[in-house]
Structures are given as C-alpha cells and as structure tokens.
Amino acid sequence: VAVSCAVAAFTRPYLFDVGPLFPLQTAIVTPICLLSCLLAGVASGALSWALSTSLYKVEDAFSRLPIHWMWWPSIGAIVIGIGGYLQPRALGVGYDVISDLLHNHLAVDVALALLLCKGVMWVVALGSGTSGGVLAPLLMLGAGLGVVLGPFLPGGEANLWPLVFMAATLGGMMRAPIMAIMFAFEVTHDVNALLPLLTACATAYGFTVLVMPRSILTEKVARRGYHIYREYGIDPLERHTVSEVMTREVTTIEARTSIAAALENYFGPNQLHRAFPVVRDGLFLGVVDRAILVKYAETSRDLCVSELFGENLPVMALPDETCRVVATRLAVHHLERLPVVKDARSRELLGLVARSDLIKPSLSLFDEEHHYEQVNQTPFSGLRQAFRRL
C-alpha cells in the first residue's frame, strides 16, 4: 500500500496539475480554538453516528419490503431523483461543491439544504443497494456541517471550520483519525490547520468508539455473521512474559536415575505430575513421562534416563518470551508444558510453564477490567471504563 501510494504521488504531476486539490490557507489559530475543535469533534462524531445508524436502519427496512431485491435500487433512484430535483448540487461526485464549501462560497441556508438532501440521498442510495461511494459524500456532508456550525464557533476564521468538520467526519466514520488528518493536509496543504485537525479528529474518533461498536466499513461484515476484532482489544498473553507466570519450584529427575527407579519413585501410586524434566547438574536434557519409561523398561530397566535423549535440542521456553509465543509453541508441538531455561546455551532450568499457567494473564486482565470497577464504583464508572478501553 505504501509503495502504491508513493508511485501514485510521484506520477500525478505528469498527469494532472501540480499542487493541492483544494488549496487553502487559514490563519494561525488562537487558544480558544481548542474548545471549538473539541465541540467540532463531538458534532462530527454525532453526524457519523447518525449517518451510520440511519444507513443500516434503511437497509433493514428495504430487506422487509414484500418485493424482490432487484427492485430496491429503483426505489432508491426515485429518492435520489427527488433529492436532486430539490438540490441539484447534491448529485454527482461533488468535488466542485466541496471546494465551494471549503472556501465559504455557499450561504449557510444553502449548505444546510445541501447537508440534509445529500444525507438522505446517500443513506437511501447505499441502503437500497444502489452503486455509490463513501469518501466524497462524507467530505461533502462534513464540510456542509462545518459551514452551518462554523459561525457559532469562536477562535478560528470561517475557512477553517469546513475543513475541520470534513476531516473529523471522515475520521470518525471510518475510525481512521490519522488518515483523515493527513488526507485533509494533502488536499489543502494548510499547515496552520494541523493542530485543529488533530484535536477534532481525535475527539470525533473517541466519540464514535463510545457510541458505536463498529465502523461503517466493518458493520456490514459483522452483520453477515463474522467476528470483528475490537480496535482497542488487548491480547493478555502479549502483555506478560513467561517469568511472570511460570512455576519456579519444579520436581526433577536426576540424569543418572535408572528407568526402573524413575518409574518406582516418580510414577508410582503417589505420582504428582504427568511428566518430569530430566537434569544433569542443573542442565536440562528433556522431559519424560510414564509412556516413554514403560516403553523402554521392557528391555532396558537399568538404563539411565539421560540415555533416552538424542543430540537434538529439546523444546524449551525462555523467561523473557511472551506468553503468546509460548502458547503457540505448545500448540504446534502438541505439548501441555515446557521447561523454562535461562538461555539456550546453558540450559539452566529455571522453572516450568504449563497450559494452565497461561490462564493467569487473562485472570489479571479480568481483575483490572471488572474487579477494579466494582470496588471503585461511581456514577461515572461506566463512562470511565469506556475511556480506559479507548
């Protein structure tokens, strides 16, 4: 993706005019602009929520119609035609309209009418299955909202707010705030707008994460029955190392012990574990269980257990490896436990990590997310927990 973007950017001057798509230069913002950008982010996030929620409600409404789905786009086309009759500039891709909105060439009442018509047309078009995009309509809707609300926001000139709302709506709807910031900068080359863009896009993203379980781009996939990973999900196995969960007091079998003695002493009526590591002067050699010893006991009862291992290195774990790496190793080798050694060269045995030990990180995460919240219950604990996940 990065290489393709670079090739496109370097090729563009040979095919099109050099320079930004919507050239814009706003003034340096004042400190009061921070509050206005926060409000702009909330408003853009609310617009993203309204559009996404309405889209899938319209889609559900079409699915309940007592007619074949092939007629749905025709119904959507009627709505688009009515909207285009009321507001012709809402038709088409609309890059010229976006440019006029960014440069405040449209009156507030015209921008409001454009916002309402374009919103309804876009939602019905996609909900009915009619071919349509996402990027350009979101840019137009966000910029239109900026023209409508911009006069009420202090701390920035009029040209700033359509750009800020446009990027914040895009970032909130697609759950990609950094992309929206870079996109807005690329199409305008307005350096002074970077800080307002950062504030508004981050706020819009946070708002949509709190009120919507998924973005508009993943909702349809989830509605088809596929599990969508949460953006802020944390793998508890990735947070902890083996040294934090391993068992340090390990019962071992000395390498000089005979097979018969090992069966009698470690696998008798008082057997504590299913398998035991074999060591020679602290050096880990391998792991034996009852099945291995019984197999060789039939012919070589006096053979030392150390002679059961070849030259190949046994499967081991290191104390600084993550639990996720070790869990994968256990699954690949079909094992229930792994000896933990200081390093692969010395093979000094430090402990043992079992599959049951890998439950401990999940328990730790559960205590953080649930037990802590129950102990520190406040009227805002639910909101606080959402922000902690964010």
Residue 49 is predicted with a pLDDT of 93
Cα first-last separation, the chain:
27
Q: What is the per-residue pLDDT across 285-300, written as a single tens digit (0 to 9) for each?
A: 888 888 888 877 777 7
* 8 A C-beta contact, residue 26 and residue 156: yes
Mean pLDDT, 10 residues at a time, over the chain (390 residues)? 91 86 87 93 95 90 91 91 92 88 91 93 89 84 94 87 95 92 92 94 94 81 72 74 90 87 83 85 85 78 79 85 92 90 89 89 76 53 56
For residue 229, the model assigns a pLDDT of: 62
pLDDT score of 389? 55
Give burial (CB, 10 Å; 0-12/13-18/19+) of 188: buried
> What is the torsion angle, in degrees rounded to the nearest 10, for the CA atoms of residue 389, residue 134, residue 126 and residue 204?
30
Structure tokens at 186: 């690329």
Q: What is the dihedral of CA 160, 165, 166, 172, to 10 degrees?
A: 140
Predicted confidence at residue 169, as pLDDT, reads: 95
Give residue 240's identity as a one-letter amino acid code. Answer: H
Does the pTM exceed 0.75?
no
Give the 3-state secondary structure percentages of the chain, helix then strand then coil, rounded to 5.
60, 10, 30
Half-sphere exposure of 183 (CA within 13 A, CB side): 20
pLDDT of residue 166: 95
Question: CA 227, 229, 230: angle at the middle one, nearest 5?
Answer: 130
Beta partners for residue 352, in sequence order: 247, 339
Q: Is residue 91 packed enough to be buried (19+ CB in 10 Å), middle (13-18) or exposed (0-12)?
A: middle
Amino acid at 114: L
Residue (of 32, 35, 25, 41) closest to 193 by Cα position: 25
Token output for 272: 């504590």
